[in-house]
Amino acid sequence: MGPPPWEATQGRNLEQQQEGVGFGAMAIWLVRHGETEWSISGQHTGTTDIALTPEGELQAVAIGKMLAGRAFDHVFASPMTRAQQTARLAGFGDRTVVTEGLREYDYGEFEGLTTKEIWATHPEWELFRDGCPGGEMPDAMAERVDAFLAEVRELQGNVLLFGHGHCFRSIATRFLGLPIRAATNLRLDAGSVSILNDGRDGPTLVLWNRRVAPRAVLVADIAAAVARATP
């Protein structure tokens, strides 16, 4: 089976995608938390503090192996359990600074609902255009991530973030200088890695929605261990 159609790498490995990272003043690595029961069902998960599934835990470990050897100057995570679990299992728990700036979109009355369920009462609803009654509106989300990006830019260097899909889509859109509604066109799956970078010609999307097959990573580790143990 070939790579997922939304995977920006199109089969190329991570090292190829990293060419040029660090060219500019900073690079931001985005790790969306691993799988949860609600990411499987498609329920909007903002303020609900849900943990990773066993598969999500494996994804976090695999992401940690993929990031091993990379130097990060700063590591931040959302205060939600699913993000902090991912950071810890990836091997960054002792370095992680928790920040409210990485909280997921506040879905208000739409918390826990699927898009199909929302469309039943709000036909053609679109998050980054319409926002959420009782929750955040797109302009407010843009202001929140703009403030976070301004803080991060003061730090410089390589920054690693553990957080959520809609928040990260907002961060990527605003980092690129685009209106918040453009985040609609960026899909971001659970257990994925993306990279934003200050390139020669301006802010650049270096890597997007790079997913890791956790079992393949673990099998490779076992094979390597067997090889080392074999005379």
CA distance from start to end of the chain: 35
**Active-site residue among 33, 44, 164, 166?**
33
Please state, in angstroms and rounded to a whole number, the distance separating the CA atoms of residues 183 and 172: 8
164 is catalytic: no
Q: For residue 59, what are its two tokens? A: 């994804």
Verify whether residue 33 is a known catalytic residue: yes
C-alpha–C-alpha distance, residues 215 and 213, integer Å: 6
CA distance 171 to 149: 8
Q: What is the 3-state secondary structure (H, E, C) of 93-128?
A: HHHCEECHHHCCCCCHHHCCCCHHHHHHHCCCCCHH
Output DSSP code: residue 51: P
Are 84 and 78 in contact, with CB atoms under 8 Å apart? Answer: yes
Residue with tokens 């929302």: 118
Catalytic residue among 7, 57, 104, 136: 104
Q: Which residues are catalytic?
A: 33, 104
